[in-house]
Amino acid sequence: MGSQYGLKFAVHLVTNHFGKIVAKVCETLFRKGPLSLGEIIRCTELTPEQVKNSLLVLVQHNCVQAYVPADQFRDEEESTVTVEYLALFDNVIHRLRFPKFLEIAKRQLDDECEKVLDGLLRDGRLTLKQMVERAVQGKENPGAIEAVVRGSFHKLLKAHYVERCPAPEPVVSTLIKAEPAPRKRGSKMAKKFEAPETIEQRVMEAALPGEAIRFAVIEYTGGNADREANSDDTIMVNVGDNSGGIANEGSILWRANFEEFIRHLRHKLLIENERKRLDDGAATILSAILDATKNVEKKVKIEKSVPLSLDSIFTEVTKNEYGRTMTIDRVRASLVQLGCPQRNLDDSYSIDLKNIVEMARNEEVESIVLKRFGGDAYRIFRLLSKSNCFLETDKIAELAIVDKKEAPRLLYKLWKDNYLHMEKLVVTAAKQSRFMLWKVNKPVLWEYVLDEMYHAALNLSLRLAFEQEKDEDLLHVSRDKLTPTDKSGEVNSVQKRYLRLRDVLFLMGSSLMKLDDALMLFHDF
Amino acid sequence: MNRLQGSSSSKRKRELALVSDTLTDGERILYNLILSKRDMGIWSGDMKRETNLPDHMVKKSLKLLQSKGMIKEVVNIQNKARKHYMAAQFEPSKEITGGDWYSEGSLDKDLINVLKNVCVKYISRQKVVTRDGVLDWSRKSGVITAEVSNQQIEEILRALVLDDEIIEVKSTGYGEFENVPVGRVCYKCKSKSGVRGEPKDGAMSSIPCGVCPRINFCTPDGIVSPRTCVYYQKWLDF
Q: Which residue in A403, A405, A517 is closest to B203 by CB distance?
A: A517
- The mean pLDDT value for A453-462 works out to 96
Cβ atoms A12, A61 nearer than 8 A: no
Q: Is the pLDDT of residue B97 over 70?
A: yes
Residue that wins the pLDDT comparison between A371 and A427 = A371
Q: Is B218 within 8 Å of chain A by CB?
A: yes
Q: Is B100 within 8 Å of chain A by CB?
A: no
pLDDT tier at A259, thresholds 50, 70, 90: very high
Judge whether A283 lies within some domain: yes
Q: Do B163 and A379 touch (CB under 8 A)?
A: yes
Whether A283 and A347 map to the same domain: the answer is yes
Q: Which residue in B162, B215, B220 is closest to A383 by CB distance?
A: B162
Whether A290 and A331 map to the same domain: the answer is yes
Judge whether A312 lies within some domain: yes
> Can you tell me whether residue A390 is helix, strand or coil?
coil
pLDDT tier at A243, thresholds 50, 70, 90: very low
B80 neighbourhood in chain A, CB within 8 Å: 405
Judge whether A304 lies within some domain: yes
Q: How far apart are CA B224 and CA B213, in angstroms?
A: 11
Q: Is B33 within 8 Å of chain A by CB?
A: no
Judge whether A432 lies within some domain: yes
Residue that wins the pLDDT comparison between A275 and A77 = A275
Q: Do B155 and A401 touch (CB under 8 A)?
A: yes
- The mean pLDDT value for B73-88 works out to 85
Helix (H) / strand (E) containing B73: strand B71-74
For residue A260, the distance in angstroms to the closest alpha carbon of chain B comes to: 24
Look up the CATH number of the domain holding residue A281: 1.10.10.10
User: What is residue A183's predicted lDDT score, i.e. its pLDDT?
Assistant: 53
User: What is residue A522's predicted lDDT score, i.e. its pLDDT?
Assistant: 96
Taking 3-state DSSP, the helix, strand and coil percentages for chain A, each rounded to the nearest 5, stand at: 60, 10, 30
Q: Do A466 and B101 touch (CB under 8 A)?
A: no
- The mean pLDDT value for A263-276 works out to 93
Q: Which residues pair with B130 in a beta bridge?
A: B186
> Can you tell me whether residue A120 is helix, strand or coil?
helix
User: What is residue A211's predicted lDDT score, i.e. its pLDDT?
Assistant: 78
Judge whether A397 lies within some domain: yes
- The mean pLDDT value for A242-249 works out to 53
For residue B8, the distance in angstroms to the closest alpha carbon of chain A comes to: 31
For residue B25, the distance in angstroms to the closest alpha carbon of chain A comes to: 31
- Please choose, from the candidates A101, A403, A385, A110, the residue with its C-alpha nearest in 3D space to the C-alpha of residue B77: A403
Flag the least confident range among A54-68, A301-315, A355-369, B166-180: B166-180
User: What is residue B194's predicted lDDT score, i.e. its pLDDT?
Assistant: 56
User: What is residue B100's predicted lDDT score, i.e. its pLDDT?
Assistant: 81
The pTM (predicted TM-score) of the whole model is 0.83
Q: Which residue in A337, A368, A458 is closest to B172 by CB distance?
A: A337
Residue that wins the pLDDT comparison between B91 and B10 = B91
pLDDT tier at B20, thresholds 50, 70, 90: low
Q: Looking at residue B82, what DSSP letter applies?
A: S
Instruction: Mark B119-136 as b/e (b = at least 16 C-beta within 10 Å).
Output: bbebbbebebbbbebbee
Q: Is the pLDDT of residue A488 over 70?
A: no
Q: Do B213 and A455 touch (CB under 8 A)?
A: no
Q: Is B172 within 8 Å of chain A by CB?
A: yes
**Average pLDDT of chain A to the nearest whole number:** 85
- Please choose, from the candidates A393, A366, A65, the residue with its C-alpha nearest in 3D space to the C-alpha of residue B78: A393
pLDDT digits (tens, 9 = 90+) for A95-154: 999 999 999 999 999 999 999 999 999 999 999 999 999 998 888 888 888 999 999 999
Domain span at residue A320 reads 261-351
Helix (H) / strand (E) containing A414: helix A406-416
Q: Is the pLDDT of residue A174 over 90?
A: no
Cβ atoms A151, A132 nearer than 8 A: no
Whether A346 and A372 map to the same domain: the answer is no
Judge whether A1 lies within some domain: no
- What does the H/E/C string look like for A177-218? CCCCCCCCCCCCCCCCCCCCCCHHHHHHHHHCCCHHHHCCCC
Cβ atoms A219, A213 nearer than 8 A: yes
pLDDT tier at A24, thresholds 50, 70, 90: very high
pLDDT tier at B192, thresholds 50, 70, 90: low
Q: Do B203 and A515 touch (CB under 8 A)?
A: yes
- Of the residues A410, A440, A470, the one at which a domain ends: A440
- Of the residues A390, A407, A440, the one at which a domain ends: A440
Judge whether A30 lies within some domain: no
Tally the domains of chain A. 3
- The mean pLDDT value for B110-138 works out to 87
Flag the least confident range among A244-253, B22-31, B191-200: B191-200
User: What is residue B4's predicted lDDT score, i.e. its pLDDT?
Assistant: 46
Q: How far apart are CA A384 and CA A395, in angstroms?
A: 11
Q: How far apart are CA A263 and CA A282, in angstroms?
A: 20
Whether A265 and A345 map to the same domain: the answer is yes
Residue that wins the pLDDT comparison between B131 and A53 = A53
Checking phi first, is residue A343 left (phi over 0); if not, alpha (psi -120 to 50) or beta?
A: beta
For residue B52, the distance in angstroms to the closest alpha carbon of chain A comes to: 22
Report CA torsion sign: A392, A398, A400, A406.
Answer: positive
- The mean pLDDT value for A455-466 works out to 95
Radius of gyration of the CA atoms of chain A, in A = 27
- Of the residues A407, A440, A473, the one at which a domain ends: A440
- The mean pLDDT value for B30-51 works out to 89
Residue of A463, A467, A514, A521 to mutate when probing chain B, most B C-beta within 10 A: A463
Q: Looking at residue B209, what DSSP letter applies?
A: G
Q: Do B205 and A507 touch (CB under 8 A)?
A: no
pLDDT tier at A184, thresholds 50, 70, 90: low
Residue that wins the pLDDT comparison between A37 and B238 = A37
Whether A334 and A383 map to the same domain: the answer is no
Q: Which residue in B200, B232, B238 is closest to A370 by CB distance?
A: B200
User: What is residue A222's predicted lDDT score, i.e. its pLDDT?
Assistant: 45
Chains A, B: CB contacts under 8 A, how many? 122
pLDDT tier at B139, thresholds 50, 70, 90: confident
Q: Do A364 and B172 touch (CB under 8 A)?
A: no
CB atoms within 10 A of CB A491: 16
A378 neighbourhood in chain B, CB within 8 Å: 162-164
User: What is residue A71's predicted lDDT score, i.e. its pLDDT?
Assistant: 75
Whether A331 and A381 map to the same domain: the answer is no
Flag the least confident range among A109-113, A350-354, A457-461, A486-490: A486-490
Report CA torsion sign: A280, A282, A285, A289.
Answer: negative
Judge whether A46 lies within some domain: no
- The mean pLDDT value for A406-434 works out to 89
Helix (H) / strand (E) containing A35: strand A35-36
Q: Which residue in B106, B159, B205 is closest to A368 by CB distance?
A: B205
Q: Is the pLDDT of residue A94 over 90?
A: yes
User: What is residue A430's predicted lDDT score, i.e. its pLDDT?
Assistant: 67
State the ipTM, two decimals: 0.80
